[in-house]
Structure 1
Amino acid sequence: MSKKDNGAPIILAYLNEKNRPYSAQDVFTNLQKQHGLGKTAVVKAMEQLALEGKIKEKTYGKQKIYFADQAQFKDVSDADLKAMDCQISELGADVQALTQSCRQMDAELKELSGSLTTEDMVAEIQQLKAECSGYRERLEKIKSATNHVTPEEKEKVYKERNIYVKEWKKRKRLASDMINSILEGYPKSKKEFLDEVGVETDEDCKVAVPSV
């Protein structure tokens, strides 16, 4: 781009192509990255194009707006407008269909992204097979063990357990009755009494009497 044209042909072509109003700042922002136009050069070029009548200029307060000269565009008939409207409707329908298709593909992509790859599935299957093999070996050892508990021994253990549980409940009840009797003439709270005499309850030890 030469210093002489100052970007004016690029700006003129851009305004004619877009055919919509822009400020100098808008044009600078839109063209600077691609064409390397400076802000001052853009402003001067647009002012010069307006003076030459190649583009139109409108002032709104302190801001100037520039747009293509509409005289260069041919008139459009009603039939052409209707045809354009139909085309816009068709394109809008195509856009909706494509948008829906994209959403479906996005959903499928998310689902596939969360699935295991073939390599991961093979590795997991091998791991599960190894675990099953370990469980089988453990089961065989249990089955082949000679130190199984007989039904008689099992019944004896349960009976002893019931005796110990009943004794636990009995002693807990006796201790509770005794403490309650003392508390009738004790000036402090039950917690303070238990702390003072050093009594630890089942609750302190986080245990509970099992059901018989």
Structure 2
Amino acid sequence: MATEAVCEYLKIQNRPYSVNDIVMNLHNEYGKSAVQKALDQLVSKGKVFEKIYGKQKIYCIVQDSKYDAEELMRIDKELHAHANEVEAKLQEVEREIRSKESALATLKSSLTLKEALKQRDTLKLSVKDLTKKLDNLMEAIGTEDLSESKRKAETTLDDYSREYSKRKRLCTEIVDCILENYPGGKNELYEEIGIEAKVV
């Protein structure tokens, strides 16, 4: 029964189709295995011919001898175009599957919401305990506020850095003036007056 329906469909359409296309175009009236079996029978009887393009099989009704070579060439080109289209779709679907699998693997390896909330609560408790310990230590030894000490240290460091840069520039200018009339090279001068090259 499926054999006649498939054969009739291919005759009427007179163009190449894959098994999946035929199943869909027959509105899933016959299952894929039934359609495949029907196509195999039609191929063995010589009523349909089969072409393989990569992983894809394409089926087309065998033309009557009244068709000329040009018509057959047209059908062959159509077969190729259809096969390329199907292959492109397959590659696109495979790419999408790989992308989804990668996203799934990432999700599986990350924390669940429940685990993340539990970890957050644990960290909050830890921070609370450590803050309490720090306050107790500072109270016990009478240390001033650490943030104020840090600010002062940073200000002092900035002042020293600026002063160092000024003096370094002055020193470099003086050494460059001496080098203009010095008979030896820069390294010789540094060695003679006791300057380390990396400092200047």
Same-fold status (TM-score > 0.5): no
TM-score, normalization: structure 1?
Answer: 0.37
More helix per residue: 2
Question: Between Structure 1 and Structure 2, whose CA radius of gyration is higher?
Answer: 1
